[in-house]
Amino acid sequence: MLKKLVLAAGLTLGLVSGGLISGGLVSSARAAGDAAPLPNQTWGFHGVFGTYDRAAAQRGFQVYKEVCAACHSLSLVSYRNLRDLGFSEEEVKAIAAAYKVTDGPNDVGEMFERPARPSDRIVKPYPNEKASRAANNGAYPPDLSLMNKARVGGPDYTYALLVGYEKPPADVQLLDGQYYNKYFPGMKIAMPQPLNEGQVTFADGTPATIANMSRDVTVFMNWAAEPELEKRHRLGVQVILFLIVATGFFYAAKRRVWADIH
């Protein structure tokens, strides 16, 4: 019986992993679109016990707020969500209050402006896509809420893109408003290099190198894309441990019941 079990498990795994491998090949092919292969990074939020580094995510929020937010919206995140990153209620209120939102209509039917509240979504830099294209040479800076899930390579891609600006090789012709970035599909991107040495000042004294800022903003963006990640990992460990124990009991019961058959 055990031999059969091993055989069955082996065949099943073979079929499944064969499927997975061909699946994997599929996605890597899709990434192609003429770009350099992404270097693998290690992230604290990867792995079974992965969590977000709060300090890095807070610094990353600062980078987003002071740099990226000039062009990119983050429309699925509310100010109140920032509490997850370790900001206090007061801090969140203060962060929100620095922005204005249009509300209304009021009792006399007019729209009015008020400071943002923690329950508001993070305020967009442009009222709509047309306005953002008009301000960016016709290019559209996409919303960053799901960016880390919406590209092959996820956080590795975001990081590579931010540090990947280079002088174009001699044979590459760039049009006005195009920049050379070997990790962007096609290698010509409409986003000017967003980060430069010392662009922000971190309160905790972390040097604002391009690599540091890029890493931190990538951690922040990953949280924005997968805010449930820590809960998911924690619950996952519990559920799987429980299932392993239960399955062990089921196997013991099966052996017991079948004992008289062999």
Residues 6 or more apart whose CB falls under 8 angstroms from that of 233 comprise: 48, 49, 50, 51
- Rounded Cα–Cα distance for residues 243 and 230 (Å): 20
Question: Which residue's CB is nearer to another protein, number 98 or number 235?
Answer: 235
Quick one: which H or E segment has residue 2? helix 2-31
Residue 154 lies near another protein (rule: CB under 8 A):
yes
Residue 36 lies near another protein (rule: CB under 8 A):
no
Min CB(143)–ligand HEC separation in Å: 10
Question: Which residue's CB is nearer to another protein, number 37 or number 198?
Answer: 37
Candidates 2, 38, 48, 53: give the one binding another protein (CB under 8 A): 48
Residue 236 lies near another protein (rule: CB under 8 A):
yes
Q: Tell me the site size for another protein, rule CB under 8 A.
A: 57
Min CB(195)–ligand HEC separation in Å: 5
Question: Which residue's CB is nearer to another protein, number 96 or number 147?
Answer: 147
Which segment (29-37, 54-62, 111-119, 172-180) binds another protein by CB under 8 A? 29-37
Cβ-based neighbour number of residue 161 at 10 Å = 23
Cis ω on the peptide bond leading into residue 105 (within 30° of 0)? yes
User: Per-residue DSSP letters for 181-230?
Assistant: BTTSTTSEESS-----TT-S--TT-----HHHHHHHHHHHHHHHH-TTHH
Candidates 88, 137, 196, 247: give the one binding another protein (CB under 8 A): 247
